[in-house]
Structure 1
């Protein structure tokens, strides 16, 4: 069996959480289409953690042992990143699979949050009466909670106002 370096382009598997919101799967598919448009020839797939299809386990099975890089579309190191995704990879017996870290905390995530706030009408010069609540769904995992606090602190520094996670 070869290594991932034997294949010039391992598949890229985007791993969204999944949602009961019917708009969520289309958002994930739109992101996959965008990545494909920017990387023609790259095998880009989706594999949801739960709630939507395809599930990650099914995507890994469809890869048939081919090398892949998983990119969790999750904002912090919570239970899914630390336990569920690695357990799914282990259960699939997929040794040629590598997993990237969660998307945050990261300066690009803070930039995206800032952009979304601006699009929603955030003032260019906020006053001392302004503040932001960073609502993060899900994890009671201490590392995930720490990541959210770090993202809130970085966003507060960028905005110049308090950001409460």
Structure 2
């Protein structure tokens, strides 16, 4: 039997954020045809990922984190749900870093016609887990290969340079215009923090662009291939 895809996002109280994530999940259903896709959450919204995995009984499942980096929710919440599943259950890596997401970010930035004298701050939510910063750095490297202006990183929370400080550092380094590339999935708390961090231009959150659904499908198919 084809494994169930459990699409596990953080959860948000933002109606726009909920709509963006729901649109991604709906697109994944279309791309995967007859595969059963169940939404799940680690915070704010229900059903919780533990409950969704348990409800599947002995059915095989693949939990795909709708999260951009490794962190507490992947290493604790999702890992616990996988460990306690009754059927065969695996979790994929977080969505990022991934070339398709780098392509999407590059398109968003290119829409503002970046020019000499500009700088980009890849603006991420952040985490206390050092692995998250490693993931964001890898994403910044992928992005820097696709655009012609310098790329640095900034974080809304957790370890690392705060987004507002990264913006100021870019200006202090000579940038005439700073573009904050929103490296968050959906509208909500962290997207609002990025928007208020002082950049001259702020790109939209990644979802519900089809590229996000394509990465979910890629993660799922790779995990299914490893199971078979």
TM-score (norm 1): 0.84
Number of matched pairs: 153
Q: CA deviation at 1:163?
A: 1.3
Instruction: Report matched runs for 1:107-122 at 5 Å.
Output: 107-118=99-110, 121-122=111-112
Instruction: Report matched runs for 1:105-144 at 5 Å.
Output: 105-118=97-110, 121-123=111-113, 126-144=114-132
> Structure 1 residues 39, 154: CA separation in 2 closer, same or farther (over 3 Å shift)?
closer
Q: Equivalent of 1:26, from 2, 15, 19? A: 19
Aligned to 1:3: none
Richer in strand (by share): 2
Query: In structure 2, how many angstroms separate the alpha carbons of the residues matched to 1:116 and 1:94?
Result: 42
Q: CA deviation at 1:51?
A: 0.9
Aligned to 2:94: 102
Q: CA RMSD in A?
A: 1.6
Query: In structure 1, how many angstroms separate the alpha carbons of the residues matched to 2:86 and 2:123?
Result: 35
Q: Equivalent of 1:151, from 102, 119, 139? A: 139
3-state DSSP class of the match of 1:57?
Answer: helix
Query: In structure 1, how many angstroms separate the alpha carbons of the residues matched to 2:149 and 2:119?
Result: 5
Instruction: Report matched runs for 1:37-116 at 5 Å.
Output: 37-90=30-83, 92-116=84-108
Q: Which runs of 5+ in 1 are unaligned?
A: 1-6
Q: CA deviation at 1:95?
A: 4.7
Q: CA deviation at 1:130?
A: 0.9
Q: Which runs of 5+ in 2 are unaligned?
A: 154-228
Query: In structure 2, how many angstroms separate the alpha carbons of the residues matched to 1:130 and 1:137?
Result: 22
TM-score (norm 2): 0.62
Query: In structure 1, how many angstroms separate the alpha carbons of the residues matched to 2:130 and 2:93?
Result: 16
Q: CA deviation at 1:110?
A: 0.5
3-state DSSP class of the match of 1:115?
Answer: helix
